[in-house]
Amino acid sequence: MKLEKKQVNDRACRYSRVFGAITVCILIMLATALCLPAFADPIFSESFENGNLNNWYTGTAGMSASKDYAHTGLWSIKIDNQAERLYHDLTGAQNVPQGTPVGLRFWLRDPGPAATKGYIMDMRSTNAELLLGVGCQNGLSSYEIRVRSNSTEMIAWTTLNVNRIFGDWSCFDIQYDGNTQATFYINGKLVKTVTGLTKAQITKLAIGSGGGTAQTPGYIDDITVTTNPTPPTAMYRLTTGVAGGQGTVTGANSGLHESSENITLTATPATDWYFAKWEDENGNDYGIYDTTIQLNLNSDMTIKAVFTPSKPLITLGVIPAGAGTTTGAGLYDVGAQCVVGATPAAGYSFAKWSSLADGSDAVSINNPYTFTVTGDRNLYANFQLNNYTLTTIANSGGTVSGDSGTKAYKSSCTVTATPDPGLCFAGWSTDAAGTNIVSRLYTYTFNMPPNDYTLYANFAPQATFIFTDGFERLNVGYIDMNAAAGNANVSNNGNMNGNPWWGTNPPNNEVIGVHDNISPHKGSQQLMGRAGNCLNYINIAYRANNNNLCSGDFVTDWWFYDAKGQTFDTATSYNYITDSLSLCYFTAAAITQDYPSLAGTRNFTDADFAQKLSIGCSDDIGTGFDHTKYQARVFGSAAAGVTGAYGTLGWINLPTARKVGWHRARIYVGPVKSNNHNDVSFYI
């Protein structure tokens, strides 16, 4: 994302925390030359910038200076045949007295692939009694070392646990303590320590292996020999460039840099372009918006400049989404004054401006906020939830419990109404008169609105009612009132004079006459399961009790025909029946008329009901089911304390034996007792 420009010292901790790859310097320092090791006393260096090999003499074959690649400057030495070898004698001012610690550093551009070989360098005594070499001698995927002491091969080109790096420069260090120990480093990291050497004087340098065939050229550059060396500083690879737009990046080159090196990079936009930001190889924003930056490396790092058309863009966002609106976004001239404002939505108040999309930083708490435009910038208006007061009041006839007091906007709240014995719950309302009903569920869960909120629990006597239906007044055909137009018994939701039955995902049961030689119990019509779930509902609370849940002291009867009796064969669905009548407390959605809107889109499951009381034939035919008996069911919170159930759905085998023919079944819910529970009785 685009962030604001800040002072360098404000950024240092963020760079390290987010990427672990940069430490921004507070002071601007001069960068050291990349080719010089951290050695104490240099006695010989060779960068081949004179374009010749006058300081070297040929061994088995000749090499040449080349401008193909160079670590620094223009020239390096090219190794394009495995048979090539060159020597340089350390004499005169370059003489290394015996017993003096000495170090060799050189840079190698390894072309790859792994099969290529012969890119090596060593330092040795006059007759190679002591020889310390490193590189890629045998065409393997890892670098190798060679150690010869007292004219004996202690280590004959053995691989290191360091993979070769192709197509870029790597740094190699060999340090000999002048006595019995040598250490090898690659890119500033210690890779091997060898002890037990025989003391010898280093007098010569050698490049190349001296045996092989023509191959892809490799290059060696910036050779340095020093006495009294110290261990090199760790090195990391820097990759720079332009990730978008037109411009250049100057300063430190891509490649290896010591961690102690103070690196300076400058992004310069082309004409009619503007520097936007620095980003990594994956396009992630580093959060740095200065054109010139100073940094040190503590791991490999890719940093590229992004340029945009020259007019800066101010982009505004909102945290969290939908919590408010902003003004002031758009294109501005560099140096212009930008004024941004934030307006909270209902339930929120303004908190701050941030430059990060997660709101973890703070730019300003001013609203409006004015600043000078220096480039593209992202700002986010952060809003916080307001607190409001929830009050619950029980009107005459019951009590309330649950949440109340200070609640944050949108926080989840749950309240419960409990009617006194002999009364039923008439719904939660926002007015004392009980006319503005918001829920008819005893336990009502909602999100706190953006204002103080008062809920009243209303209670009323249960209506005296009788509802009967023998299906004689309905048309033959599917019974779902909420079926598609053209259904024989379709009716509008809430039509108190129409068909009261509805089902989920119609069609379901069907009104018929005599069927399979089975006559109705009375009259000329009966109900039969024909399609879908074979399951229909009637909303008794809405139809008979002023849309209030019945609390107790009511009974439901039904007659059902058992066509199979004790015949039970699960291999054929027609060889057993699972018909039952249920009293249900539906809690999945509010029902203000006969059925909720979701009835036409999905079937209901047990999870949609808080309680169920059923009688007839169980649909749970698992372990414990007795196909010779009828069953009753107590499901949900009503099941507490019920014994004798089998399975997990609350079905209970009754003592009444199954028998072919018509049967009358009854569920009686007794009055509410002093402990706010009911006794329930089942009859067949």
Task: Tell whether 156 and 255 lie within a shared domain.
Answer: no
Task: Give the domain-ending residue among 461, 480, 508.
Answer: 461
DSSP 324-386: EEEE--EE--TT-EEEEEEEEPTTEEEEEEESSTT--S-SB--SSEEEE--S-EEEEEEEEEP
Average pLDDT over residues 637-657: 84
> What pLDDT, in 10s, does the model give residues 267-295?
999 988 888 889 988 988 887 778 899 99
3-state SS assignment for residue 303: strand
Task: Give the domain-ending residue among 445, 461, 477.
Answer: 461
Q: Is the pLDDT of residue 637 over 90?
A: no
pLDDT band of residue 10 (cuts 50, 70, 90) is very low
Task: Tell whether 51 and 164 lie within a shared domain.
Answer: yes
Residue of 404, 284, 317 whose CA lies nearest to 22: 284
Task: Tell whether 321 and 301 lie within a shared domain.
Answer: no
The 3-class SS string of 145-190 reads: EEEEECCEEEEEEEEEEEECCCCCEEEEEEEECCCCCEEEEECCEE
Residue 545 domain-assigned?
no
- Please write down the long-range contacts of 386-389, taking CB distance under 8 Å and 24 or more positions apart: 386/347, 386/348, 386/349, 386/450, 388/448, 388/449, 388/450, 388/451, 388/452, 388/453, 389/452, 389/453
Task: Tell whether 241 and 320 lie within a shared domain.
Answer: no
Task: Tell whether 161 and 214 lie within a shared domain.
Answer: yes
Average pLDDT over residues 177-196: 96
Task: Tell whether 75 and 205 lie within a shared domain.
Answer: yes
| Residue 395, domain CATH | 2.60.40
pLDDT band of residue 4 (cuts 50, 70, 90) is very low
pLDDT band of residue 213 (cuts 50, 70, 90) is low
Average pLDDT over residues 31-57: 72
Residue 532 domain-assigned?
yes
pLDDT band of residue 38 (cuts 50, 70, 90) is very low
Count other Cβ atoms within 10 Å, centred on residue 486. Answer: 7
* pLDDT recorded at residue 117: 87
Q: How far apart are CA 305 and CA 287, in angstroms?
A: 12
Residue of 191, 161, 199, 196 whose CA lies nearest to 174: 191
Residue 656 domain-assigned?
yes
Domain residues for the domain of 76 are 41-227
Contact 440, 549 (CB under 8 A): yes
* pLDDT recorded at residue 273: 87
* pLDDT recorded at residue 470: 93
* pLDDT recorded at residue 60: 56
pLDDT band of residue 40 (cuts 50, 70, 90) is low
Helices and strands, counts by H and E, the chain: 2, 49
Q: How far apart are CA 196 and CA 174, in angstroms?
A: 16
* pLDDT recorded at residue 14: 28
* pLDDT recorded at residue 634: 94
Kindly report the average pLDDT of the chain as a whole number: 88
pLDDT: which is higher, 224 or 83: 224
Contact 134, 145 (CB under 8 A): yes
Contact 511, 488 (CB under 8 A): yes
187-196, 488-497, 635-644: range with lowest mean pLDDT: 635-644
Q: Is the pLDDT of residue 230 over 70?
A: yes
Task: Tell whether 258 and 278 lie within a shared domain.
Answer: yes
Task: Tell whether 140 and 268 lie within a shared domain.
Answer: no
> What pLDDT, in 10s, does the model give residues 133-180?
999 988 899 999 999 999 999 999 999 999 999 999 999 999 999 999
Bridge partner list, 634? 613
Q: Which two tokens stand for residue 108?
A: 């190698």
Task: Give the domain-ending residue among 385, 403, 420.
Answer: 385
* pLDDT recorded at residue 210: 63
* pLDDT recorded at residue 214: 59
Task: Tell whether 68 and 151 lie within a shared domain.
Answer: yes
Task: Tell whether 244 and 373 lie within a shared domain.
Answer: no
Average pLDDT over residues 636-650: 79
* pLDDT recorded at residue 48: 94
pLDDT band of residue 39 (cuts 50, 70, 90) is very low
Q: Is the pLDDT of residue 70 over 60?
A: yes
* pLDDT recorded at residue 421: 86
Q: What is this structure's pTM?
A: 0.47
pLDDT: which is higher, 333 or 143: 143
Average pLDDT over residues 617-644: 87
Contact 294, 24 (CB under 8 A): yes
* pLDDT recorded at residue 232: 94
> What pLDDT, in 10s, does the model give residues 520-560?
999 999 999 877 788 999 999 899 888 888 888 899 999 99
Residue 405 domain-assigned?
yes
* pLDDT recorded at residue 42: 92
pLDDT band of residue 20 (cuts 50, 70, 90) is very low
Contact 215, 231 (CB under 8 A): no
* pLDDT recorded at residue 415: 97
Between the alpha carbon of residue 204 and those of residues 64, 118, 128, the distances in Å are: 19, 18, 9
What is the separation of C-alpha 337 from the centre of its chain, rounded to a whole number of angstroms?
38
Residue 564 domain-assigned?
yes
> What pLDDT, in 10s, does the model give residues 454-502?
999 999 998 888 889 999 999 999 999 999 888 999 999 999 988 999 9
